Structure 1
Amino acid sequence: MALTNQIVLMTTKFKLLLIFFILGQSGFAQNRLPIIKANSVIVDIRDGDSFEKASWTISPELKPDLYETPNKYKSVTFYTDLDSISFLVKPNEHYDFIILLNNTDTAYTRIVYVMPPDFIDILKKADKYNLEDSREIPNFTYQTSNDSNLVLLRKTFNLDSIAGTGNEVSQILSLLHWMHNLIRHDGLNGNPETLNALSMINTCKKDNRSLNCRGLAMALNECYLSMGFKSRYVICLPKDSLGVDKDCHVINMVYSNSQKKWLWIDPTFDDYVMNEKGELLSLEEVRERIICEQPLILNPDANWNHKTSTVKEDFIYRYMAKNLYMFKCPIRSEFNTETKVQGKTIEYIQLLPLEYFNQLPFKSEIKNEKTGTTVITYKTNNSALFWKAP
């Protein structure tokens, strides 16, 4: 009996020693994790060729707090307000580190590679529209440059001088560059309540603030209208069948009489897209060329806030391939389109590929009881109507 007790006791001690050894090894490994310090919970991240400011929030309660990147064999760098850390990310590996917040809270953080969805393949499956779709939708309209608000906008910011005396395309691009240089982009903090170019530009100057892509495109759209160009801002949307992708991108389409087509104009990244001959392309043409695997050229000076270059492979073939699935435009291109006021109605047309899973209702109407604004959206599969020249 005594011998049995001794054996049991020795076995128990061995198990305890083994547990302590494992815990010790775990703690040792944990202690060896790289540590960076932070006083603010907001982190900037450079992921491959893209830089996202204030895109990460430190969360000590998550163990680990997981950052997933679609970029393999590229560096991911976390920038806190005090420190930074960088890893070259490879498939089938993970990269652990600790963010020490205010010298008290420990945030265990992990970076892993995840294979991104094949957005080009998704786009290829959505190549078909229905040019016979005859459901009645309103015509797009464009406010004329003699509107009093547009005249005031043109004179306030000397847009004639900014556009210059060059040909039509050079004037369109000059206004693009001016807007890009005038107001920073920030995709996280939204826009002011009053959504017209006069108010947004003045607010950004006064408060040293920025706009998101929608705000930039709305402001630039009104500048084009004030100069007599027919222009729309276009909400470029992903398929997002699971309803989890809240990201979209908003750019401008400006009609060139000399080219006899719409031109892709993007104030967020100061970019436009060309074919192999250097001819500027429309959104419709860029989408078709991605699907048909035809060459695309992004202007070499495209950039984000003059901090990082915009790279074609990431921007066109990943980000925009995702967001060129379907499109949405206000029917009336005019001053102050989206400012919410009591009794106002804002109408949109949404272009859907035939492959899209949610085709109905054809017309939806939603009233915001708080602002008193009604939003009406029409759906169409007729790409010819959506891209119709003014």
Structure 2
Amino acid sequence: MSLPATEPVDRQLPSDEARELLTLTRDLVQRELLPRAAADEAADRFPREVFTTLGKAGLLSLPYGEQYGGGEQPYEVYLQVLEELAAGWLAVGLGVSVHTLSCHALASFGAEEQRERWLPAMLGGDQLGAYCLSEPQSGSDAAALRTRADLDGDRYVVSGTKAWITHGGHADFYSALVRTGEDGARGISCLLVPGDAAGLTAAPAEHKMGMRSSPTAQLHFDGVLVDGDRLIGHEGQGFQIALSALDSGRLGIAACAIGVARAALDLAVGYAGTRQQFGRPIADFQGLSFMLADMATRIEAGRALYLAAARRRDAGLAFSKEAAMAKLFCTDTAMQVTVDAVQVLGGYGYTQDFPAERYMREAKVLQIVEGTNQIQRMVIGRHLTGR
């Protein structure tokens, strides 16, 4: 399987550098991702070395400043790189998005001394991060988290359990939201926790419907000692940090969703052009060609929506509502397009001989992570009504 040569050559991009970056990404997808994605997914095998390759190519640091080793790219460009990666292999595209999310707290809220000390290594390509917000009893209600961090001298003692952690047990560092004060949002703080901290262990990876090569696991903090200088921002600022990170992270999920949808559409178009029924390709039948047209239109609309939100972010404008809209629409699009791709392939779409069924299984999780689509509708509604 290969990606169509017309993408992204005919796409509007802000600079020649951006075009070269997407061309580089596409080449890496063809050489490093597509040949092994299906086999690694079937074997539940985490492709850690792929992230090392992407890191050496500079793709793990794109939206961050050059002074810390980042790529200094606008979100408009970074998200299109994510789309390319996810079109080849969602577990990798989403993994890069999670790594970027895990760097956000330090990059945006850390003191300058903290950024100079830790951020270059986090962005250097050898490390992979994870983001720890959800817990077994607090998913959408993130302000109800219970993992505690109590200051003992100059170190925090952290105890509790985090859940649904992408890269859990494999990450080199964790941006962890913990409770340092009273109940509710005002008692939450953010700690940068080393992946090899004593007392930090991961449960066996969850057995998931899709994205099986991306490890998702609970993390147990059993009296983990974290130096006080690893507090990001100030005590009680953690919930603000978390919401800020999620606004950006939702755009990453939106871009990944369009990547998966695009892969499904490409498969469906290719199949429809070669599958013969009644003496001609099934693409010639109006019912099916209309279905392909609707799939393509949704994808273009989704990309336009996430890019519009990204441009607001790049311009320093508020984009929380737009990020929620993009996440909602793009992930619903991915679900619909992948279901339709299975339908286009008919019985073959329901078999593992083609990746259509994998795309459909992968698309479902995108409607859940980084805030369910029901939560996105709540966010949008509150922006509209001021409540």
Q: After TM superposition, is the score higher than 0.5?
A: no
Q: Considering only CA atoms, is the larger Rg found in Structure 1 or Structure 2?
A: 1
Q: Which has the higher helix share?
A: 2
TM-score normalised according to structure 1 size:
0.27
